A and B are shown apart, each in its own frame.
Chain A
Amino acid sequence: DAEITQSPRHKITETGRQVTLACHQTWNHNNMFWYRQDLGHGLRLIHYSYGVQDTNKGEVSDGYSVSRSNTEDLPLTLESAASSQTSVYFCARLAGSYNEQFFGPGTRLTVL
């Protein structure tokens, strides 16, 4: 859906490199989230933000960081990529009458 864009859609990197995944939303919504999705685990929350300059850790935040300098963007950075961070990453914002999660198309990251 064009409301949330994620880039790149696919990324291959090497162990130890810094990687940044972009998430951009066009609805000017305060609440944004990053998840990783792995077989057998479902969606797990990495970091989230409730507004500019606000960031919070999720259940699997080790090795990841986020920054929120404006409402539209919440980039996710892997400071030193590890093979265990090979996954599909989804950015989300809240939507609807009951604030359910609305997801972007995802980024598939492979760490060799």
Chain B
Amino acid sequence: SQKIEQNSEALNIQEGKTATLTCNYTNYSPAYLQWYRQDPGRGPVFLLLIRENEKEKKKERLKVTFDTTLKQSLFHITASQPADSATYLCAPDSSASKIIFGSGTRLSIRP
């Protein structure tokens, strides 16, 4: 069955450092992969989408990579700020007409 794993349940880093979150998937080959941010008590918000033929995509301080050989996506936040603290969810494109999310990584940026 299709499976999505995000590296760690929680990640705690110092402000100003780069945060790197990992998303691994098994048993399918998504055409694209999406990353979302969720703040407590709120619905997720779409951040970035990367397609299978793209190695890397950037948006301001965010960068996503997509390695279809490793079946992995990395999500980077450079020059991290306390306001970046949130839960980040990855969602590989599914073969069905629905999106399945990873369990999420709760990122905390300490001042």
**A and B physically associate:** no
Residues of chain B whose beta carbon lies under 8 Å from any beta carbon of chain A:
none
Residues of chain A whose beta carbon lies under 8 Å from any beta carbon of chain B:
none
